[in-house]
Amino acid sequence: MRITFVSFLLLALVFTACKEESDPKAEFYFKAGTEILESNEYESALLKFRSALDFKTNKLLQATIYRNMSIAFQNLEQLDSASYYSQKGYEIAPDDSYIFFINRAEFSLLNNNVFSAIKDLKFAKSLDPSEMEVYHTLCLIYSGEYGDAYFNPELSEFYAKKSYKLKPSKTSKEQLGSIYFQNEKYPEAVRIFKELYAKEPTNKKFEFYLGQCLYFAGEEKLGERHMLSAAERDEKCKVMYNEIFEIGQDLE
């Protein structure tokens, strides 16, 4: 999944502006939708965002709603809708604002224009260097998510660390662990996924990633045991397990 970070961006500024220009009900539904989106309840979040748009909103709030709607659609793998709302977001946003550049960057990425996206992300970073989603997206780009032409292990790790430092969440921590693994820093990756799995022992994805890191760190038996345990209980983990061990048929 490429985009997982919810846009809480500029909430203070959004709500300050909304006091005069936006209906309080729009603020309420926007905040509720954003909180639901962070819990990965994408359909429910979209309902709240649509409810917010039924009321008067200023341009900054509306552009941020569109940003979060795009994130929801990306996680639902509805990329045409995601692109549509990213475009609406930058078209309505003030053209010198952070949300303008972040929406336009996302629109560019969804339409395979990585070079333009990087330029807009750097503009956004210059306007507000404290917003972690810029660093998260730059990390994705330089980790090769959008093509090998931009793959840069050093930059991907730099931006993953910056993202995690600004917002030490489960998602940014998972990203950092994944980058450590990609860069063959297996002990660091093991540490990250041990912590994540310890907090969520029922999360099969974290168990699988921990096993994968252990396996490549030299603890093959323990690593395979974790991967197999996750694969027996989760379909996506099963696919990854089969790919790693080149198994031609599903696990029984």
What's the pLDDT at 204? 94
Q: Report, as ranges of residue numbers, the positions in the chain whose pLDDT lies below 70.
A: 1-20, 247-252
pTM of the model: 0.82
- Taking the domains of the chain in order of start, what are their residue ranges? 1-128, 184-252
What's the pLDDT at 232? 94
What's the pLDDT at 206? 95
Please name the residue ranges forming H helices in the chain. Answer: 11-21, 24-38, 42-52, 59-75, 79-92, 98-110, 114-127, 132-142, 153-166, 170-182, 186-199, 204-216, 220-231, 235-244
CATH topology of 1-128 equal to that of 184-252?
A: yes
What's the pLDDT at 247? 56
What top-level class would CATH report for the domain 1-128? Answer: mainly alpha
Pick the CATH number of 184-252 from 1.25.40, 3.40.50, 1.10.150, 3.30.70: 1.25.40
